[in-house]
Structure 1
Amino acid sequence: MNARSGNRPHCATIGGVPRFLFLLLFAVSACTAAPPAPPTPSPSADACPTGVEYAVAGEDAASGLRVLTLELTNCGTEALELEGYPSVTVLDADHAPLPVAVGRGSSGISAVEAFDTAPLPVTVRPGESAVTGLLWRNTYTDTSTPPVVGEHLELALTTGGPPQVFTPTREGDGTALTIDLGSTGELGLRPWTAAP
Structure 2
Amino acid sequence: MVDGVWGRGVVGVFGGVGVLVGVLAGCEVPPAPQAAPGPTAGVAERSARPSVGQPPARPSAGASGQACPEGGVRLAEGGGDAAMSLRVEGYELLNCGAVDYVLEGFPEVRLLDKARRPVEVAVGHGSAPITSQVPAVDAPAERVLLKPGQAASLTTVWRNLVTDSSVPAVEGWALEVTPKPGAPRLTLELTRPVDLGNTGRLGIGPWRAASPRR
With structure 2 as the length reference, what TM-score do the two structures score?
0.64
Which of 91, 96, 102 matches 1:70? 91
Task: Give the percent of matched residue pairs that are identical in Structure 1 and Structure 2.
Answer: 41
Structure 1 alignment gaps of length 5 or more = 1-42, 169-175
Q: Which residue of 2 aligns with 1:51?
A: 72
Q: Which residue of 2 aligns with 1:93?
A: 114
- Structure showing greater radius of gyration is 1
Contact 1:153 1:165 in 2 (8 A): yes
User: How many angstroms does 1:144 deviate by?
Assistant: 1.2
Gap change, CA 1:177 and 1:70, over 3 Å in 2: same
Tell me, in whole angstroms, the C-alpha distance in 2 between the residues paired with 1:190 and 1:71. Answer: 13
Moved more, 95-104 or 159-168: 159-168
* Alignment of 1:183 onto 2:192: no
Picking from 80, 91, 104, the partner of 2:125 is: 104
Structure 1 residues 23-38: aligned runs within 5 Å:
none
Q: Which amino acid aligns with 2:125?
A: R
Return the TM-score normalized by structure 1: 0.69
CA deviation vs aligned residue, 1:64-111 (integer Å, no higher than 9, x gap): 110111011001122111111121211011211110111112142112
- When the two chains are superposed, the root-mean-square deviation of aligned CA atoms in Å is 2.0
Aligned to 2:161: 139
The C-alpha deviation readout for 1:145-164, integer Å capped at 9, x for no partner, is: 21011100111113564321
- Which residue number corresponds to residue 209 of structure 2? 194
Name the SS for the 1:178 alignment partner: strand
Query: Once the two structures are superposed, what CA deviation does each residue of 1:150-196 show, in whole Å capped at 9, x if it has no partner?
Result: 1001111135643211112xxxxxxx210000011010111111111
Letter of the aligned partner of 2:73 in structure 1? Answer: V
Runs of 4+ in 1 over 6 A off after TM superposition: none
